[in-house]
């Protein structure tokens, strides 16, 4: 079974430029998450989707970040414009999305963003 | 107070020893608990999940949960150099997705 797929794996951009990350979850997983991980820290949630609905985006900086999951499968996370402080690893994860709290989440390889 | 706390380490153990990794959490309503392993430059990999008080064993790994003390631990028996990584404790309170600790770096000395 294929895991979570993310692209690109690495991205270097200059500040104020836009950037987009793509994620394809594990087949059959209804819940998709975008996390941000800074060096030496654990991942922090940016947004969670249940199918195509964003059900938790309270930690997403909406002035510059946006996300979509139009058909309830693939998702795109965008930053426009990027700032120096956005340099981090952006992780996508997915889970089956069953009711309750016992959803095991599986991570993709991440996108390492460097903003110059 | 952080929601999930871990000692950053490094925790250094000799090969073949038992490594004990600890985690405390602040939300008493937390229901499910996970341990992830993260090698340098890689993404987190799920290694254990535990939902009820007590021990759960899987191969060389044992997760322990004590909800009264708000404490989760991971034991790694017969530690190998390949176990050297950062171990992330994650907690699901139901209000959001997983809340992670900052991780404990484990070094297994050959």
Cα A71 from Cα A95, distance rounded (Å): 17
Q: At A1, is the pLDDT very low, low, confident or very high (cuts 50, 70, 90)?
A: low
User: A100: alpha, beta or left, given left = phi > 0 and alpha = psi -120 to 50?
Assistant: left
- Per-residue pLDDT of A20-53, as tens digits, reads 999 999 999 999 999 999 999 999 999 999 999 9
CB distance B103 to B38 below 8 Å: yes
Per-residue pLDDT at B10 exceeds 70: yes
- Name beta bridge partners: B66: B71
Q: Check A56 against B97: CB less than 8 A apart.
A: yes
Q: Is A21 on the interface with B (CB under 8 A)?
A: no
CB A86 within 8 A of CB A66: no
Which of A43, A54, A93, A111 has the most B C-beta neighbours within 10 Å, making it the best mutation to test the interface with B? A43
The Cα of B98 is separated from the nearest Cα of chain A by a number of Å equal to 8
Q: pLDDT tens-digit profile of A54-104? A: 988 988 999 999 999 988 899 999 999 999 999 999 999 999 876 555 679
Residues B17 and B98: their CA atoms lie apart, in Å, by 30
CA distance A52 to B84: 38
How many Cβ atoms sit within 10 Å of the Cβ of residue B1? 5
B99 burial type by CB count under 10 A (0-12 exposed, 13-18 middle, 19+ buried): buried
Task: Determine, for residues A42 and B103 on separate chains, whether the beta-carbon distance falls below 8 Å.
Answer: yes
Tokens of A3: 């895991």
- Chain A CB contacts of B45 below 8 Å: 107
Q: Note if the bond before A108 is cis, omega within 30 degrees.
A: no
Q: What are phi and psi of B58, to 5 degrees?
A: -150, 100
Cβ-Cβ contacts under 8 Å, B44 against chain A? 43, 91, 107
- Asked whether the beta carbons of A21 and A90 are under 8 A apart, the reply is yes
Least confident of A95-109, B24-38, B60-74, B85-99: A95-109
| Chain B residues with beta carbon closer than 8 angstroms to that of A43 | 44, 88, 98, 100
pLDDT of residue A71: 87
Using an 8 Å Cβ cutoff, are B61 and B54 in contact? no
pLDDT at res. B95: 60
- Averaged pLDDT score across all residues of chain B: 94
Mean pLDDT in residue range A9-16 = 97
Task: Compute CA distances A1 → A4, A27, A60, A89, whole Å.
Answer: 10, 8, 30, 24
Q: Which residues of B touch A26 (CB under 8 A)?
A: none
């Amino acid at each position: 079974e294929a895991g979570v797929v993310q692209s690109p794996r690495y991205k270097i951009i200059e500040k104020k430029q836009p950037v987009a990350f793509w994620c394809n979850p594990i087949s059959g997983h209804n819940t998709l998450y975008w996390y941000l991980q800074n060096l030496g820290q654990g991942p922090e949630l940016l947004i969670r989707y249940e199918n195509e609905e964003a059900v938790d985006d309270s930690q997403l900086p909406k002035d510059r970040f946006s996300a979509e999951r139009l058909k309830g499968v693939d998702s795109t996370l965008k930053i426009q414009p990027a700032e120096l402080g956005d340099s981090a690893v952006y992780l996508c994860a997915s889970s089956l999305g069953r009711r309750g709290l016992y959803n095991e989440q599986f991570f993709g390889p991440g996108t390492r963003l460097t903003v110059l | 107070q952080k929601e999930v706390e871990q000692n950053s380490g490094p925790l250094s153990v000799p090969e073949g020893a038992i490594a004990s990794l600890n985690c405390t959490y602040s939300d008493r309503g937390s229901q499910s608990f996970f341990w992830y392993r993260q090698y340098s430059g890689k993404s987190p990999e799920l290694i254990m999940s535990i939902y009820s008080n007590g021990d759960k064993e899987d191969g060389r790994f044992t997760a322990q949960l004590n909800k009264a003390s708000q404490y989760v631990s991971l034991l790694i028996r017969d530690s190998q150099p390949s176990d050297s990584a950062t171990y992330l404790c994650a907690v699901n309170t139901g209000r959001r997705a997983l809340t992670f600790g900052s991780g404990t770096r484990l070094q297994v000395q050959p």
